[in-house]
Amino acid sequence: MIQRTVVFIVGMALLISCGTGKKNEMSKQSDSVEILDPHTFAKPHEVKVTHLDWKARVDFDQKVIEATATWTVEKSKKADSLILDAQGLEIQEVLLNGNESAKYYRGEEDVHLGSSMVIFINEDTRKVSVTYTTGRDAAALQWLAPEQTAGKEHPFLFTQSQAILARTWIPCQDSPGIRFTYNAEVEVPAGLMALMSASNPKEVSTAGKYTFQMEQPVPAYLMALAVGEMSFQSIGEVTGVYSEPSMLNKSVYEFANMDSMLHAAERLYGDYRWGRYDVLVLPPSFPFGGMENPRLTFATPTILAGDRSLTSLIAHELAHSWSGNLVTNQSWNDFWLNEGFTVYFERRIMESLYGETYANMLDVLGMEDLKKDMKSLDPKDTRLKLELEGRNPDEGMNNVAYEKGNFFLKTIENFYGREAFDEFVTQYFDTFAFKSVNTELFLEYLDSNLLKTDTVKREKLRVNEWVYSPGLPDNCVKVKSRRLQRVESSLKAWEDGILDIDELKTDDWSSHEWIYFLRKLSTDLSVNELSELDRTFGFTRSQNTEILAAWFIHTIRADYEPAHEPLESFLVSVGRRKFLVPLYGALTKTEKGKDKAKRIYEKARPNYHSVSRNTIDDMLNS
């Protein structure tokens, strides 16, 4: 069984939960030292940060941030050092309580973790200030030249801190299990706007000076900053959109449903606790679909399809305001708690807005993504509880956490009924609000609050198999979509020569139906057949990036000439890793394609964030 251990340390009390269900986890713990997160050097049970005052100047010429991070700390009586995570930072000065110079040293550099920064403190130390400059190649920061933006006139900077990149721009205790509030004063070139994962301005400051507050405690991976030419437009009372001015109208149109999504989410699982919910639409090099920075989701412009058809991504990031930002995975080994819950919640929001048939399509597509990933992953990485120690936590960011996590929760819902499950989830978010949870604590809570109500069902559910075994258990809830089945029948009728391509009834198809159509399309179509499809449906000219990316897989394979140039310009401008991986992957299947991939990548690489660069570097050099 699993139990919760409460450890009290003189001068402070920390609730530390640990899994006792697994031997290897226990063996990592010695006496009072608990290593809860293998991706941080911090020892929060000795000295823990609780608040950050961050003063920064953003220098676009040097591509650095010069800053002072002043940490308020909480310490045990005996503790004599604060340990922070830092990577590539040039440290100028460390002060205690604002005036006393401190001794410190940097630990050995680890390729994934950076190094520890051990700062000696005194008994009366309450504040520790570190003055520093970020490295020229800080992995979290992406500096865009004016020509890489939509407006082409001003440079742009954005950060991506998840999973462990916050330490490349702020010396911090970079663990999802450690939370702090923050205030910031940020100076940027006049005329540009600065935004953070905090209370944000709506107007440009002529002096380029901005202040921010984040009153709710957040972990370091939710620290975020964007600087550039941006404007704001509100959508509802507490929702709105920021983007480069030329993208604003398009973005506002696309996200018109944000308010309804927020209300649907609140109806499902309780109050939204972060004040405002705004979305920032970034330039296209943003490596992810979205990042759930609190109060201000960062989103890729590749979801601006012009028909609001890809907005489940906003539902996803919004859902993170509960699963992830409010109740947080304690380490990246528990990543499924953030993402599985969020996918489940996202689909429930979409179901409330657009009905069950719509949500079913998302589930079927999700199941396909999951099965595909499971085939290519090492079986040990297909378990929900991951073992990422000694590895880059980015390796856990695949559909296992997202979709297997979602289907685990859906299966529990199926066993115990929606009403009981929803009640459980609401209570879970309440109980652990602004706290971190690991898999073992979650399972214990799930057992006591839901599973125990029916021990026969509990037996049949086989929770341990879901969480600790590879693959997908055979009791997984079955998902079906009538709308996607219709697509399959239409496709078959065309492939069997029963219907001509222009006889297919596609008028009411959403993006999801088109994506499914392209996925199911035979992989050995001739150039002539592709050409016929393209003439009828205009895939190569599609404004919908999901459809375009699914189409390019076929055009690459058949070396379909009319798509050569559009593919190249897509790869050069879009930095979203989800698209880059399959497209470069398809190119590298032939020698000719490999040369082409390398040639395009040489041009595209400067436009990609380090997160995408690392992945594609590996792919093309292996």
> Where on the chain is the footprint of Zn ion (CB under 5 A)?
339, 342
State yes or no: cis peptide before 163, omega within 30 of 0.
yes
The secondary structure of 324-361, three-state, reads: CCCEEECCHHHHHHHHHHHHHHHHHHHHHHHCHHHHHH
Q: How far is Cα 1 from Cα 356, in angstroms, rounded to an integer?
A: 37
Return d(Cα 115, Cα 134) in angstroms, integer: 14
Active-site choice (269, 277, 344, 402): 402
H/E element, 368? helix 356-376
223, 161 contact by CB (below 8 A): yes
Q: Which is nearer to Zn ion, 125 or 342 (CB)?
A: 342
Whichever of 251 and 342 has its CB closer to Zn ion, that residue is 342
- Smallest gap from Cβ 401 to Zn ion, in A, equals 9
The helix or strand, by DSSP H or E, that contains position 64, with its residue range, turns out to be: strand 64-75
How do strand 47-59 and strand 179-187 relate by DSSP bridges? parallel
CB of 158 to Zn ion, least distance (A): 17
Cα(322)–Cα(268) distance, integer angstroms: 11
Q: Which is nearer to Zn ion, 298 or 428 (CB)?
A: 298
Distances (CA, A) of 68 to 11, 49, 95, 104: 27, 15, 10, 16
| Least CB distance to Zn ion at residue 346 (A) | 8
440 noted as active-site residue? no
How far is C-alpha 235 from the geometric centre of its chain's CA atoms? 24
User: CB 316 → Zn ion: shortest distance, Å?
Assistant: 6
Q: Please, which contacts does 142-148 make with residues 24 or more away whose CB atoms are closer than 8 Å?
A: 142/285, 142/286, 142/609, 142/610, 143/60, 143/63, 144/228, 144/283, 144/285, 148/283, 148/285, 148/607
- The distance of closest approach from Cβ of residue 280 to Zn ion in the complex, given in angstroms and rounded to an integer, is 16
**Please, which residue, 325 or 342, has the CB nearer to Zn ion?**
342
Catalytic residue among 317, 403, 440, 513: 317
Burial class of 429 by CB neighbour count within 10 A (0 to 12, 13 to 18, 19+): buried
Q: Which is nearer to Zn ion, 192 or 397 (CB)?
A: 397
Q: In the complex with Zn ion, which residue's Cβ is closer, 163 or 533?
A: 163
Token digits of residue 460: 């049949």
Nearest residue (CB) to Zn ion, 89 versus 303? 303
146 near 92, Cβ under 8 Å? Answer: no
Residue with tokens 């499902």, as numbered in its chain: 268
| Min dist. Cβ of residue 319 to Zn ion (A) | 8
Residue type (1 letter), 226? A
Catalytic, 317? Answer yes
CB nearer Zn ion, residue 311 or residue 342: 342
- Tell me whether residue 125 or residue 406 sits nearer to Zn ion (CB atom): 406
Compute the least distance from the CB of residue 338 to Zn ion, in Å. 7
Distances in Å between the alpha carbon of 569 and those of 288, 383, 548, 566?
19, 37, 12, 5
**Residue 101: strand pairing partners:** 95
Provide, rounded to whole angstroms, the least separation between the CB of residue 529 and Zn ion.
37
Query: Minimum distance between the CB of residue 320 and Zn ion, rounded to whole angstroms?
Result: 6
Name the residue among 511, 502, 507, 509 with its Cα closest to residue 487. Answer: 509
Contacts of 311 (CB under 8 A, 6+ apart): 254, 255, 257, 261, 303
Cα(52)–Cα(128) distance, integer angstroms = 10
For the record, the structure tokens of 199 come out as 């209370």
Q: Which residue has its beta carbon closest to Zn ion?
A: 342
Residues carrying an active site annotation? 317, 402
